[in-house]
Amino acid sequence: METVYRQLQRKLNSIGLGLPETDEGYELHYLAELFTEEEAAFVLKMERGLQTPAEVAESMNIPVEEAAEKLESMAKRNNIFRLHDGDQIKYTIFPVIHGFLEFNVDRFNSVIAKNFGKHYMKGMGHRFYGSQEPLFRVLPTRAEVVEHGECLAEDDVEAIIRRQTRIALTPCFCRTSTQSSPKATGCTHNRDFHDTCMVFGIFADFYLENGNATEITVEEALAHIRRCDSEGNIIEVLNTRDVEVMCSCCPCCCGVMKALMFFGGPSKEVAGNYKIRYEESACVQCGICKERCFMKAIETAEDGKVRLVEENCVGCGLCATTCPAKALTLHRKPEEAVYLPPTDSVVELYDHITKLRRKSYEI
């Protein structure tokens, strides 16, 4: 008979990027760290989609008070998501990524880190860009490095931040996971710069209600992004028009970029809307660009000069922001190659990715 955690894994595998099964059961170990058996059993009974306590109570044939208490308890423990919809509070099951693993970053320990790391290499990492459309997109760190000011409004980091009404700064899941591992020795970036990710809108509400983030102003958020650039951290956003998540991680720890580099997938080509161009005559061969490139898109040729590997470039612009000779600029892809977010909200995005996976017979 399957354990409750194996049943939970199978249910979570049908949402968003899913949760692939491994023969070794790595995923079961971290599920057991985060969910009690009672919580896992409750999630198995929950229907998909946002529901009020009354709707959950009706579907499970239990009192509304019991449903409300259980739902709120699990939301406070970051294992399901809570959303305020007018006067109603609704709850829903969320995927592993971006979902309850990120929500539970404060509960991370070596057991979760070790088993997630192994699971990532055994199947989870393939999921990030394994669908026809990505979970995360890469944005230019600063819009001004895009030639002729051709940065799309959907890709303009400052514009995205300025339109937010609520912003919260959160610990980075990837950095926490890496540093929680018993073998965490590889990060060469500022380990004290821990709270590097921002959440907006409904995610900011959720994190702040649960006490897992710090609310910041628009100006503080812009200053934070400037620091991320100086630290050499890439900017990725959740692939929605609302942009509920803006991650900024280092190359040592970033699970999203490692997935793009190591595993690739059908949506790799739409991960970013820009490519870097290089003016050799202006270059002073300082090598800073190569040091800052996440994706190994800049190499040193046999003659010692910079050489671009264009197919690896995702258009983050980290190389261009620190080029002392202004020899590097981002150029927008041709119009037919430009990719824009498919949905407004994260809830819609997970449904969208789930449907894409069903079409490819992954579910």
pLDDT (tens digit per residue) in 293-352: 989 999 988 787 888 999 999 999 999 999 999 999 999 999 999 999 999 999 999 999
Mean pLDDT, rounded, for 177-203: 75
- Its pTM stands at 0.93
Contact 312, 295 (CB under 8 A): yes
- Mean predicted confidence (pLDDT) in 262-285: 94
**Residue 360: pLDDT above 90?**
no
- C-alpha 176/C-alpha 52 separation (Å) is 33
For the segment 49-100, what is each residue's pLDDT rounded down to a tens digit? 999 999 999 999 999 999 999 999 999 999 999 999 999 999 999 999 999 9
Q: Which tokens hold the place of 271?
A: 């991960």
Burial degree of 310 (CB within 10 A; 0-12, 13-18, 19+)? exposed
| Chosen CATH of 271-336 out of 3.90.1150.10, 3.40.50.880, 3.30.70.20, 2.60.40.10 | 3.30.70.20
274: confidence class by pLDDT, cuts 50, 70, 90: very high
> What percent of the chain is predicted at pLDDT more than 70?
95
CATH architecture of 4-122: Orthogonal Bundle (1.10)
pLDDT at 182 over 90: no
pLDDT at 191 over 80: no
For residue 188, the model assigns a pLDDT of 67
Residue-range domain boundaries for the chain: 4-122, 125-265, 271-336
Cβ atoms of 43 and 35 closer than 8 Å: yes
Whether pLDDT at 186 is above 70: no
Q: What is the CA radius of gyration of the chain?
A: 21
Q: pLDDT tens digits, residue range 17-40?
A: 999 999 999 999 999 999 999 999
CA distance 288 to 286: 6
Mean pLDDT, to the nearest integer, of 234-238?
Answer: 96
Average pLDDT, the chain: 93
Helix (H) or strand (E) holding 178, with range, is helix 173-180
